[in-house]
């Protein structure tokens, strides 16, 4: 098999390189099928129960030959994944070939604690290169999974990722593939999972816990006539599917009690935006954003969530009388026909992503405290040493930042350790939406088109949606000696990212 580096030397990247690497034949992909905005006719909603991915259990480092060991007094846990293909029952009838961490889609959930190091071995048993990114983490460059070719895990080999968990706050992160030019197909095939970073302080908050704390990974997919995942590597605008999965199941049902639930929703779709609301129209409490809990809960009856974003919210089902006919739907009212971006919210066309069946009578002692996270860092614009401008633009049917395609050998910004910077992110036009993501840090949005952020955007963020015409200023401080090194930032419409809407930046002493 040709390696990634050899292909780069030949100047092959994007879809062409992907086809070379995977050996997939173009005619195995249903090229026209993922264009349809309508719902796949093979789907009957609410047939399967919502799968909740299990937490990954730790292993002894003695079982992992060659794994790094530490004697710096920081408690360290070890986990080990086998990244492999498997057959999953997604549609009725024929099973679907998927790629999953431990063969599961989504993968097992990380359960990490602030101040405890976590080492994850990722063994690649797939026929393609992979690269595992911890999205949302304050991660060392060597373990970040930043789409750099030298970081890739070739088939039959493994890599050990070190997660320091020395972030400012806990949070609802995720992990997913980040292989240069191939992230779209790799994530589409199933390489994504949840990473929950908590602490004693967060656990003491009396928010809904255990079975009442549920991640919801929302993704759209398309299937060919053979029930196989159909991805069009030549559609650079962004993949839009017509089958909706929550935690890997098609429009599932979830049995709940008449109490409060903490839902952590991740938009793990390649390019689709959602507008989330409940069929009852009832408000809920938004308690978290990309980078952890908010200062205080915010009452809302809907929110938008773009690819890569996370929103945590608490729903109270106690307004409902438990019974076999008590259903609440989690609706999407965002219309989106193509990768360019959402076409707008239409409340008259709610689409149920899943159904809550309120069946059980429970005693709910949880609360949503008026004060949630007290440790949110405040970045001071007066301390900013530089304001950088990055414009996200279209060129030659592909995607650029400041007029340049991503080059993994070119550093686009050099940041000095322990300084504060303001980054101005600007939409380059054409009616396109770009959910821009920056690695390594959490950020505060200073303003969007001159206006201070509201809602979940007022919390810590690592994905910033550039609507058409938008200009956003974000601020962060680049601390952490261990986090010196190279990282990327990019559009999280993964097809845009794969077609090079990405930049490289480096933290130096």
Q: Binding segment for Cu ion among 102-110, 322-330, 373-381, 430-438 (CB under 5 A)?
A: 430-438
Interface with ligand C2O includes 14 (CB under 6 A)?
no
The two tokens of residue 41 are: 């006719």
Please work out the total of residues on this chain that contact ligand C2O, with binding judged by CB under 6 A.
10
Question: Residues 6 or more apart from 189 whose CB is under 8 A from it?
Answer: 97, 98, 99, 229, 231
Distance CA(41)–CA(497), nearest Å, equals 31
Q: Binding segment for ligand C2O among 103-111, 164-172, 449-457, 488-496 (CB under 6 A)?
A: 488-496
3-class DSSP assignment, residue 22: helix
Interface with ligand C2O includes 272 (CB under 6 A)?
no
Distance CA(269)–CA(187), nearest Å, equals 9
Token pair 């709610």 in the structure block, residue? 350
Q: How far is the CB of 297 from ligand C2O (least distance, A)?
A: 26
Number of Cβ within a 10 Å radius of residue 75: 10
Q: How far is CA 396 from the centre of its chain?
A: 28
| Nearest one of 267, 239, 281, 264 to 494, comparing CA atoms | 239
- List, in sequence order, every residue forming a beta bridge with 82; answer none if it has no partner: 123
Distance CA(344)–CA(467), nearest Å, equals 12
50 binds, among ligand C2O, Cu ion, none (CB under 5 to 8 A by kind): none
138, 437, 461, 473: residue in contact with ligand C2O (rule CB under 6 A):
437
Distance CA(322)–CA(151), nearest Å, equals 51
308 binds, among ligand C2O, Cu ion, none (CB under 5 to 8 A by kind): ligand C2O
Q: How far is the CB of 501 from Cu ion (least distance, A)?
A: 5
4, 117, 159, 176: residue in contact with ligand C2O (rule CB under 6 A):
176
Distance CA(276)–CA(314), nearest Å, equals 13
Question: Residues 6 or more apart from 96 whose CB is under 8 A from it?
Answer: 87, 88, 89, 90, 223, 227, 228, 229
Interface with Cu ion includes 434 (CB under 5 A)?
yes
Q: Name the residue nearer to ligand C2O (CB basis): 308 or 428.
A: 308
230 close to 222: Cβ distance less than 8 angstroms: yes
- The count of residues in the chain is 509
Q: Name the residue nearer to Cu ion (CB basis): 271 or 278.
A: 271
Distances (CA, A) of 105 to 176, 249, 312, 345, 485: 11, 9, 21, 29, 31
| Nearest one of 255, 272, 271, 327 to 52, comparing CA atoms | 255
Q: Binding segment for ligand C2O among 195-203, 242-250, 427-435, 485-493 (CB under 6 A)?
A: 485-493
Q: Binding marks (x or -) toward ligand C2O, 125..144, rule CB under 6 A?
A: --------x-x---------
490, 491, 503, 504: residue in contact with ligand C2O (rule CB under 6 A):
490
Q: How far is CA 154 from the centre of its chain?
A: 23
176 binds, among ligand C2O, Cu ion, none (CB under 5 to 8 A by kind): ligand C2O
490 binds, among Cu ion, ligand C2O, none (CB under 5 to 8 A by kind): ligand C2O
Question: For 456, phi and psi rounded to 5 degrees?
Answer: -65, -20
113, 138, 178, 272: residue in contact with ligand C2O (rule CB under 6 A):
178
493, 494, 498, 507: residue in contact with Cu ion (rule CB under 5 A):
493
**CA end-to-end span of the chain, whole Å?**
39
477 binds, among ligand C2O, Cu ion, none (CB under 5 to 8 A by kind): none
Q: How far is the CB of 499 from ligand C2O (least distance, A)?
A: 14
Q: Binding segment for Cu ion among 41-49, 281-289, 373-381, 487-495 (CB under 5 A)?
A: 487-495
Q: How far is the CB of 250 from Cu ion (least distance, A)?
A: 27
Interface with Cu ion includes 476 (CB under 5 A)?
no
236, 439, 448, 500: residue in contact with ligand C2O (rule CB under 6 A):
439
Three-state SS for 145-179 is CCCCHHHCECCCCEEEEEECCCCCCCEEEEEEECC
Q: How far is the CB of 490 from ligand C2O (least distance, A)?
A: 6
493 binds, among Cu ion, ligand C2O, none (CB under 5 to 8 A by kind): Cu ion
385 close to 436: Cβ distance less than 8 angstroms: no
Interface with Cu ion includes 135 (CB under 5 A)?
yes
Question: Given the rule CB under 5 A, which residues bind Cu ion?
Answer: 135, 434, 439, 491, 493, 496
Q: List interacting residues with ligand C2O (CB under 6 A).
A: 133, 135, 176, 178, 308, 437, 439, 488, 490, 492
């Amino acid at each position: 098999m040709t390696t990634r580096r050899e292909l780069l030397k030949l100047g092959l990247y994007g879809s062409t390189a992907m086809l070379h690497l995977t050996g997939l034949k173009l005619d195995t992909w249903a090229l026209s099928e993922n264009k349809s905005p309508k719902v796949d006719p093979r789907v009957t909603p609410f047939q399967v129960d919502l799968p909740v991915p299990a937490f990954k259990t730790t292993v002894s480092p003695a079982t992992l030959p060659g794994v790094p060991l530490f004697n710096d007094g920081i408690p360290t846990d070890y986990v080990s994944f086998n990244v492999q293909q498997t057959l999953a029952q997604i549609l009725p009838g024929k099973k679907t070939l998927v790629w999953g961490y431990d063969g599961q889609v989504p993968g097992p959930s990380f359960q990490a604690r602030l101040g405890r190091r976590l080492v994850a071995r990722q063994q690649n048993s797939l026929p393609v290169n992979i690269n595992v990114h911890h999205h949302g983490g304050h991660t060392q460059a060597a373990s970040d999974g930043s789409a750099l070719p030298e970081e890739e895990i070739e088939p039959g080999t493994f890599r050990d990722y070190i997660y320091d968990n020395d972030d400012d706050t806990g949070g609802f992160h995720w992990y997913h593939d980040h292989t240069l030019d191939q992230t779209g197909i790799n994530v589409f095939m199933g390489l994504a999972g949840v990473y929950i970073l908590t602490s004693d302080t967060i656990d003491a908050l009396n928010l809904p816990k255990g079975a009442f704390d549920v991640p919801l990974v929302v993704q759209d997919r398309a299937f060919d006539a053979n029930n196989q995942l159909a991805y069009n590597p030549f559609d650079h605008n962004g993949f839009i599917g017509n089958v909706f999965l929550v935690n890997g199941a098609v429009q599932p049902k979830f049995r709940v009690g008449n109490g409060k639930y903490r839902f952590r929703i991740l938009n793990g779709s390649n390019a689709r935006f959602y507008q989330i609301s409940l069929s009852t129209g009832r408000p809920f409490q938004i308690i978290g954003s990309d980078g952890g809990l908010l200062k205080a809960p915010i009452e809302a009856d809907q929110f938008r969530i773009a690819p890569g974003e996370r929103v945590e919210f608490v729903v109270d089902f106690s307004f409902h009388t438990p019974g076999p006919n008590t259903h609440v739907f989690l609706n999407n009212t965002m219309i989106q026909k193509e990768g360019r971006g959402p076409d707008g919210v239409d409340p008259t066309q709610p689409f149920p992503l899943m159904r809550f069946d309120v069946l059980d009578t429970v005693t709910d002692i949880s609360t949503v405290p008026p004060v949630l996270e007290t440790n949110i860092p405040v970045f001071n614009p007066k301390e900013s040493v530089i304001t950088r401008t990055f414009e996200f633009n279209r060129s030659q049917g592909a995607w650029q930042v400041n007029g340049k395609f991503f080059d993994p050998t070119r550093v686009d910004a050099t940041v000095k350790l322990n300084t504060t910077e303001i980054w101005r992110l600007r939409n380059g036009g054409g009616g396109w939406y770009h959910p821009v993501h920056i690695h390594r840090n959490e950020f505060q949005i200073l303003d969007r088109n001159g206006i201070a952020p509201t809602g979940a955007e007022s919390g810590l963020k690592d994905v910033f949606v550039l609507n058409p015409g938008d200009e956003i200023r974000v601020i962060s401080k680049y601390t952490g000696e261990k986090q010196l090194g190279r990282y990327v930032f990019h559009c999280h419409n993964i097809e845009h990212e794969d077609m090079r809407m990405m930049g490289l930046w480096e933290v130096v002493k």
